Amino acid sequence: MFISSDLDNGDGGSGKFIEFGAGYFMPIQEGFVFEAYGIVGFGGVENHFPYTTEDYPLTKGDISANLFRIGVQPNFGYKSKYFSAAFSSRIVHLSCSNIKGDLVFDHTNQMDYLKCNSSHVLIEQALTVRAGLEIIK
């Protein structure tokens, strides 16, 4: 969850998102493992830019949307008693729905833009390295 403090001019926004997953773990050979997770997430965002109403007086400068994300996250790694490392790629489909508002920014109606671009495939790669005792790695 992210709730920012609004700026002095009233601009600001917030967001919330929660994600769940279930996975499969398979040792490949001594110390090496393959893992795969299915993930699903829900949330929302809202932004308000009241200063834009000076240039676009028939608007309030607000926009909000719900978010839904579903995907897979395979990873390949090495694990030992005091060290682990893994490379993973999260591949997800992100979609926006229930888009509301009337924000116009830089001569573009942001609600129309978000409705036309409401679906994306994202690839997030990560390298995770851990060292230490098993309980505090």
Per-residue pLDDT at 5 exceeds 80: no
The domain containing residue 71 runs over which residues? Answer: 2-136
Sign of CA pseudo-dihedral 55, 56, 62, 65: negative
CA distances for 117 relative to 82, 83, 99, 108, angstroms = 45, 42, 11, 13
What's the whole-model pTM score?
0.77
What's the CA dihedral at 59, 17, 87, 93 to 10 degrees? -60
| pLDDT at residue 134, rounded to an integer | 75
Number of domains in the chain: 1
How far from 91 is each of 14, 21, 77, 118, CA to CA, in Å? 25, 13, 18, 17
- Of residues 10 and 111, more confidence is placed in 111
At residue 8, the pLDDT reads: 67
The string of pLDDT tens digits covering residues 56-107 is 788 888 999 999 999 999 999 999 989 999 999 999 999 999 999 988 888 8
**Sign of the alpha-carbon torsion through 87, 37, 74, 94:** negative
CA distance 72 to 22: 10
Residues 6+ apart with CB under 8 A from 49: 11, 61, 62, 103, 105
Return the structure tokens found at 93: 């489909």
pLDDT 10s digits, 15-72: 999 999 999 999 999 999 999 999 999 999 998 888 888 787 888 889 999 999 999 9
